[in-house]
Amino acid sequence: MSTILPIRHQVSLPLDRLILRKPPLAEAIEMDVLIVGAGPAGLACAIELARLAQRDQAAGGSAELNIGVLEKAESLGEHSLSGAVVNPRAFRELFPELGPGDFPFRQPVPDEAVYFLTEGRAQRIPTPPTMRNAGYYTASLCEMVRWLGEKAEGLGVNLFTGFPADALLVEGTAVRGVRTTPSGLGRDGRPTESFAEPTDLTARVTVLAEGTRGHLGQAYREWQGITSPNPQIFALGVKEVWETARPLEHVVHTLGWPLPADAFGGSFMYPLGRNQVAIGLVVGLDYHDAGLDIHELLQQMKLHPLFRRQLEGGQLLEWGAKTIPEGGFHALPGRFGGDGLLMVGDTAGLVDVPSLKGIHYAMHSGLLAARAAYSALRAGDVSARPLSAFDRAVHDSYVARDLHRTRNMRLAFKDGLYLGGVKAGLMTITGGRFPGGRIDMSDDAAAPRRVTPAEPFTPDGALTFGKLDAVFKSGNATRDTIPSHLLVGRDVSGEVADFYARLCPAGVYERVGEELRVNPPNCIDCKATDVVGPRWTPREGGSGPKYRLM
């Protein structure tokens, strides 16, 4: 049996393109703080900064603060995807004057149930403590982001949507801002009639809130030599929102089928009010079988009686996919920033995988970053030393404490579901002290994959869908004539092409004979191939999905 080692076929990060040691363009837009990414982390940061400045001004203090947020989606929330069950803690911190009824949540978590699935059966098992969600709410991240964006705009924050940050502008070791992508390039990479030059935005502090597998965060860490005890690892989540004929009474999580025992992951099904349901499957990208296809597994999963009886008679409203940083505490970067720069939310790896929670950590880290940046700005020194107050604040907060408690849980599953399950149980009982130390992980791209023949799957178009229909349901609005933003490595054999085709949930890759064919406009920015295959780079603003409900 042959194997594939993904890292052999991957190009390295194009650092010379991502770190620009050039002075900003003469017409650069100047900001005090520039935030890259309008997700929960970036928007919480912007809101807290604007509030701090307003309070200062009201007390007769300093001048106005110019805050900008860059977002690659055409409109707020269109690139946002989560589960989501939300711990409301960070909303309460950010808006102490509001109550849960004021927040953009769909409903309180009703009963919950965890099942172990086999192909035809669902065995209910006790809910592990890490998966208990009493007191939390189900929600759509797109809706939360639109709501947070309105609050930020109301406070005078400048939101620049449809502007992907392409590169960091640096001077010495200091980050001075970002350059955006150009738009209007033809398939051959040459300017067309609608060509628009990149824009430079400079700032005294730049906050990277790009979310999962951010390319600027990766570049910054590599350039600055910032390491972590374990490398960051990722999972891919594929998700659908359904309109259903009957309400879902429980928050549901499952383990087991349709995943092979040597892959880490599980599914979720959440009620979003009376007649909508979110369903998704999340799988660690260190899986061993090169033929594994997470989109197809989700389709098969919906045929299981547990899901079929909920979805049958309903209709698919939206489909999407995104990666999740899964490395936890041991993959946190050695520092969260440097001269003129801070990293927050998923960019910094602040996700607790056993509970599948990242939103309140992202928001709390945004809030702490705002406080550190504001003090540094007021003191007139935005170098690494004053900004490192953010590192201390994160490590003293519930964010680092929660991640520390579950520090080895995801890592235990590298030995497979059953042994991992036993170890995770012991870790829960001992509050994270078992097994002591740190379980070593390697990069996802360094995990070898067995080449196995793939079973053909034929979607029925009612309950199950192929990748092209799925991409249509993401609202993908990318121009067909866009140049490729995917950097494919050398020596991509037919077998490797098959691996990419199975991995990508959006049908971007195809094996044609022994060659790889790439269809870049299908890409929905999930970043999965950036982890173990062709590198993703940002493209013209407004490309990609147009999620409304994710």
Ligand X SMILES: Cc1cc2nc3c(=O)[nH]c(=O)nc-3n(C[C@H](O)[C@H](O)[C@H](O)COP(=O)(O)OP(=O)(O)OC[C@H]3O[C@@H](n4cnc5c(N)ncnc54)[C@H](O)[C@@H]3O)c2cc1C
Taking CB under 6 A as the criterion, which residues in 458-497 touch ligand SF4?
486
Binding site partner of 84, from ligand X, ligand SF4, none, Cβ cut-off 5-8 A by kind: ligand X
- Tokens describing residue 504: 């990508």
Q: CB 217 → ligand SF4: shortest distance, Å?
A: 16
- Tokens describing residue 396: 């003293």
Binding site partner of 181, from ligand X, ligand SF4, none, Cβ cut-off 5-8 A by kind: none
Contact between 359 and ligand SF4 (CB under 6 A)?
no
Binding site partner of 248, from ligand SF4, ligand X, none, Cβ cut-off 5-8 A by kind: none
Closest alpha carbon to 297 in 123, 464, 113:
464
Binding site partner of 41, from ligand X, ligand SF4, none, Cβ cut-off 5-8 A by kind: ligand X
Q: How far apart are CA 488 and CA 367, in angstroms?
A: 37
Q: How far apart are CA 372 and CA 335, in angstroms?
A: 14
Q: CB 497 → ligand X: shortest distance, Å?
A: 26
Q: CB 550 → ligand X: shortest distance, Å?
A: 9
Contact between 501 and ligand SF4 (CB under 6 A)?
no
The helix/strand count (H/E) of the chain reads as 16, 27
Contact between 235 and ligand SF4 (CB under 6 A)?
no
Contact between 145 and ligand SF4 (CB under 6 A)?
no
Contact between 504 and ligand SF4 (CB under 6 A)?
yes
Residue 482 vs 523, nearer CB to ligand SF4: 523
Q: Letter for the amino acid at 484?
A: S
Binding site partner of 73, from ligand X, ligand SF4, none, Cβ cut-off 5-8 A by kind: ligand X
Omega prior to 459 cis, within 30 of 0? no
Applying CB under 6 A, the residues found at the interface with ligand X are: 36-42, 70-73, 79-86, 141, 164-165, 209-212, 214, 237, 239, 280, 282, 322, 324, 345-346, 351, 356-359, 362, 538
- Under rule CB under 6 A, how many of the chain's residues touch ligand SF4? 12
Q: CB 219 → ligand X: shortest distance, Å?
A: 11
Q: Give the dihedral of Cα atoms 380, 383, 386, 390; nearest 10 deg.
A: 120
Residue 482 vs 504, nearer CB to ligand SF4: 504
Strands 29-36 and 67-71, by their bridges, are parallel
Span of 37-45, 248-256, 350-358, 523-531 interacting with ligand SF4 by CB under 6 A: 523-531
Q: CB 238 → ligand X: shortest distance, Å?
A: 8
Q: How far apart are CA 202 and CA 211, in angstroms?
A: 21
Q: Per DSSP, what are the bridge partners of residue 487?
A: 535
Binding site partner of 523, from ligand X, ligand SF4, none, Cβ cut-off 5-8 A by kind: ligand SF4
Residue 13 vs 504, nearer CB to ligand SF4: 504
Binding site partner of 210, from ligand SF4, ligand X, none, Cβ cut-off 5-8 A by kind: ligand X
Residue 175 vs 503, nearer CB to ligand SF4: 503
Q: How far apart are CA 495 and CA 505, in angstroms?
A: 17
Omega prior to 384 cis, within 30 of 0? no
Span of 153-161, 240-248, 349-357, 519-527 interacting with ligand SF4 by CB under 6 A: 519-527
Q: How far apart are CA 506 and CA 543, in angstroms?
A: 14
Q: CB 181 → ligand X: shortest distance, Å?
A: 8
What are the phi and psi torsion angles at 6 (to 5°)?
-55, -35
Residue 321 vs 492, nearer CB to ligand X: 321
Omega prior to 231 cis, within 30 of 0? no
Q: CB 8 → ligand X: shortest distance, Å?
A: 27
- Tokens describing residue 154: 């109301």
Contact between 369 and ligand SF4 (CB under 6 A)?
no
Closest alpha carbon to 444 in 80, 10, 18, 13:
10
- Out of 157, 342, 508, 550, the only residue in the binding site for ligand SF4 (CB under 6 A) is 508
Q: How far apart are CA 232 and CA 217, in angstroms?
A: 12
The region that residue 279 occupies, defined by phi over 0 for left and psi between -120 and 50 for alpha, beta otherwise, is beta
Q: How far apart are CA 102 and CA 78, in angstroms?
A: 22
Binding site partner of 526, from ligand SF4, ligand X, none, Cβ cut-off 5-8 A by kind: ligand SF4
Q: CB 307 → ligand SF4: shortest distance, Å?
A: 24
Residue 80 vs 230, nearer CB to ligand X: 80
Residue 9 vs 545, nearer CB to ligand X: 545
Question: Quick one: DSSP state of residue 340?
Answer: T
Cα-based angle 261, 530, 347 (whole degrees, multiple of 5): 95
Beta sheet of 111-117, edge-to-edge order = 122-125, 111-117, 250-256, 265-271, 276-284, 234-243, 315-325
Residue 341 vs 506, nearer CB to ligand SF4: 506
Q: CB 73 → ligand SF4: shortest distance, Å?
A: 15
What are the phi and psi torsion angles at 249 (to 5°)?
-90, -15
Contact between 287 and ligand SF4 (CB under 6 A)?
no
Residue 353 vs 508, nearer CB to ligand X: 353
Question: Beta-strand (E) ranges in 312-401?
Answer: 315-325, 337-338, 341-343
141-154 and 40-58 helices cross at what angle (nearest 10)?
A: 20
Binding site partner of 176, from ligand SF4, ligand X, none, Cβ cut-off 5-8 A by kind: none
**Number of Cβ within a 10 Å radius of residue 434:** 15
Residues that bind ligand SF4 (CB under 6 A): 486, 504, 506, 508, 523-529, 536
